[in-house]
Amino acid sequence: MEQSHGVVARRGRLLALLVLVLVAVVALSLVIGSRVLGLDEVWHGLTTAHSVGDDSVVRRLRVPRTAIGLLAGIALGLSGAIMQAVTRNPLADPGLLGVNAGATLCVVLASWLFGIGSVLGLVWFALAGAAVASVAVYAIGTAGRGGASPVRLALAGVAVTAVLNGIVQVTLLRDPLTFERFRFWRVGSLTRADGAMVWQLLPFVVVGTLIALSLGRLLNAVALGDDMARSLGGSVRRTRAASVIAVTLLCGAATAAVGPISFVGLMIPHIARRIVGPDQRWILAYTVVLAPLLLVTADIVGRLVVRPAELQVGLVTALLGAPVLVWVVRRGRLSEL
């Protein structure tokens, strides 16, 4: 018991340290841009009522952009963690299992057919697309003998993603206006962020996060297998249904706001698992801090590497995530689950 308290204390201290690191990265995000501002200038921009010059840059550009990075990071990280836990698939990720592609298709169709451009208008289409894609991938991956397996789910996700992305490409080629509007959005970008977008995204991320964090104990039971979960008094069906709701809310809202950013949901749960072990309660807690830390850091890197231009955050996470994907496969993790 004493050792258990010691483990909990160490994990709590490390989590607190990571929160401080996240605060420091948020400060850097407010400082660094096309022009580097001092902390005193940032503070003045945050506390003054004026909206001119550097104060306007801080209040209207950098604060919303950083806030969207935090919210989208939490949403994408938790989506990946839940998907990996429920499917017992180390490759589960909103980008790899077709969830992003489903949300993207419905967002593009909404813009093309109905001329919708606001996040609040698009988010409902993104939620519907994410839900349909999730169900389709799971249905295809579990069809036939043997049921679901990590490889079958991954292959189903690749197939569904390819089909949906093909439809997206055809749609964009038919409508130059829609293509121009979503040119940067499709690779994942925080550059469109504004104050209104933050408030439109916030309720979906808050509700999805609360649902996700409440599933920690149930996901621990599901990780032991369906029969064991039932013997421990957990309802596998309700756990999976709540997981689908959480992933749909989180991934759909994030995709509508910043585009289909991949690999955040793949990388962060693996990092958290290596730190705290298999306990999903701690994995989810660490993911809430590590995922926005990664996304905001990637955004800062994108501002610096090709200055005065910017590299979109989705490209930076892809460059980081591809080696992680190779590492997961080479370690033979697929055979363990």
Going residue by residue through the chain (337 aa), what tens digit of pLDDT does each one get? 345 777 888 999 999 999 999 999 999 999 988 778 888 888 877 877 666 677 778 888 899 999 999 999 999 999 999 988 888 777 778 877 788 889 999 999 988 888 887 788 888 999 999 889 988 887 887 776 655 566 677 788 888 999 999 999 888 888 888 887 787 777 788 888 888 889 989 999 999 999 999 998 888 887 776 666 666 666 777 888 888 889 989 998 998 889 888 889 888 998 999 899 889 999 999 999 999 999 999 999 998 888 777 888 988 998 887 787 777 666 654 444 4
List the structure tokens of 66: 């950083």
In the chain, where does DSSP find H-type helix? 2-31, 39-47, 53-56, 63-87, 99-114, 119-142, 150-174, 176-181, 195-214, 216-223, 226-231, 236-258, 264-276, 280-305, 313-330
One-letter amino acid of 260: P
The pLDDT assigned to 329 comes to 64
Cα diameter, the chain = 65
* Cis, bond preceding 308 (omega within 30 deg of 0): yes
Domains of the chain: 70-336 (1.10.3470.10)
Closest CA to 109 of 160, 180, 171: 171
Contact (Cβ atoms closer than 8 angstroms) between residue 83 and residue 133: no
Q: What is the pLDDT of residue 79?
A: 93
Per residue in 316-331, pLDDT tens? 998 887 787 777 666 6
Q: Are 74 and 318 in contact (CB under 8 A)?
A: no
Residue 113's CB is within 10 A of a number of other CB atoms, namely 12
Give the pLDDT of residue 337.
42
239 burial level (CB within 10 Å; 0-12, 13-18, 19+): buried
Prediction pTM value: 0.88
What Å distances lie between residue 173 and 29, 102, 181, CA to CA?
35, 18, 12
CA–CA separation, 189 vs 191, rounded Å? 6
